[in-house]
Amino acid sequence: MSEKPFGSFFLPGPTEVRPEVLAAMSRPMLAHRGKAFEDLFASCQSGLQAIFGTARPVYVGTCSATGFMEAGIRNARPGRVLALVNGQFSERFANIARACGREVDEVRVEYGGGFDLAHVRRALGIRDHALVTVVHSETSTGVLTDVHAVTALAHEHGAMCLIDGVTSVGAMRIDFDASELDYVLTGSQKGLALPPGLAFAVASQRYIDAAAQVEHRGLYFDLVEYERFIQKNQTPNTPAVSLLYALQVQMERILAEGVEARYRRHAAMRDATVKWVGEAARRLGIAMHVLAPEGQRSPTVTTIVLPAVISPKALVSAVAIRGITIGGGLGPLAESTYRIGHMGEHTLDGLGKCLCAVEGALMELTSNPAPSG
Ligand SMILES: *Cc1c(COP(=O)(O)O)cnc(C)c1O
């Protein structure tokens, strides 16, 4: 397979990984119970803590993000769950809770919508909940939820809030400690721009103290064990050492850029994409718009609604012919939307090239619409 230059892969996860980060994975193995490993592991913590905004240790799991979604539920104190559902991944969080034997109530809005906090407050008032699940940046719709406000509401009602930050962590402020969050997780292949295969999570002391009282936490995802091992810069089981090499290099890169600069870069890529959607729709004379409401748009992924005459699949293929990868729509949005992932190491310049390719493809598809039927 021929190698493309950096700046051609705009899938909303996995996202593009810098070549120097990929190269780090070819270092030789080392023993995971030993000083060299502990130094490697410890060297990754300051970057991870800066990203989560915490002085707590950041757990590193050898699993995809879903593993730490499940861990968040399994280790949390017993009781009902209130799941906030507005897309594919928040739906998954609710399903995981049910699969772990929890009673789940939902606050549900249509895919592409944002939550009315008054509805969340009302649902919390109807019955007791031990937990609330919420996705910060819904990768299927590009909608951002104010998870800090949701956590405050949960706390008012005596619940803890589990936050999926897979496409927000590393791309915008999380402020775990300052906002007194309970549990936030992410994966390696989205906002952190690493290959898939690692998950990261922070749990508050209050969460982990409660977890220690939970029966049948299972073994692989026992967060109390993660907490115990991390005191000596180790993981409970054999970690993905090669991915940790990549993590070390990526954390150095992130700290060198500065987390605030990184957040500004992501906000600028979001704004540029939104602006382009409006301008391109006018230039092409088509009804195309950003799905997420203004003020609730993710810095990492934009979901764009196409007019019915253009098939998202045809668009994704036409863009691929131009050497650029973008994402199709997910679930019920598959036939009406496409997604541009502007996360990780992408730049405004690179994004500009991507948008140019998408516009070229749209022009081609609108001048020769596919025969219907
Ligand atoms: C990608 C994604 C996940 C699932 O991640 P896996 O790494 O595939 O387990 C969960 N939540 C959100 C918001 C995502 O974008």
CA distance readout (Å), 330 to 12, 134, 173, 186, 370: 11, 18, 26, 20, 22
Is residue 221 classed exposed, middle or buried when 0-12, 13-18 and 19+ CB atoms within 10 A define those classes? buried
Give the distance (Å) from ligand 1 centre to CA of residue 298. 15
> pLDDT tens digit string along 181-233?
999 999 999 999 999 999 999 999 999 999 999 999 999 999 999 999 999 99
Give the distance (Å) from ligand 1 centre to CA of residue 88. 10
What pLDDT was estimated at residue 5?
A: 81
Give the distance (Å) from ligand 1 centre to CA of residue 325. 19
Residue 259 DSSP one-character state: H
Average pLDDT along the chain: 97
Q: Is the dihedral of CA 43, 46, 52, 57 positive or negative?
A: positive
Tokens encoding 154: 């949960």
CATH architecture of 259-367: Alpha-Beta Complex (3.90)
Give the distance (Å) from ligand 1 centre to CA of residue 283. 35
**Would the CB of 300 count as within 6 Å of ligand 1?**
no
DSSP per-residue codes, 359-373 = HHHHHHHHHSPPPP-
**Would the CB of 187 count as within 6 Å of ligand 1?**
yes
**Would the CB of 140 count as within 6 Å of ligand 1?**
no
**Would the CB of 194 count as within 6 Å of ligand 1?**
no
Question: How would residue 357 be classed by pLDDT, with cut points 50, 70 and 90?
Answer: very high
Instruction: Please indicate whether the domains covering 19-257 and 259-367 agree at the CATH topology level.
Output: no
For the chain, the structural domain boundaries read: 19-257, 259-367
CATH architecture of 19-257: 3-Layer(aba) Sandwich (3.40)
> pLDDT tens digit string along 113-122?
999 999 999 9
**Would the CB of 139 count as within 6 Å of ligand 1?**
yes
CA distance 373 to 359: 25
**Would the CB of 327 count as within 6 Å of ligand 1?**
no
**Would the CB of 65 count as within 6 Å of ligand 1?**
yes
Give the distance (Å) from ligand 1 centre to CA of residue 371. 36
Question: How would residue 371 be classed by pLDDT, with cut points 50, 70 and 90?
Answer: low
Amino acid at 252: E
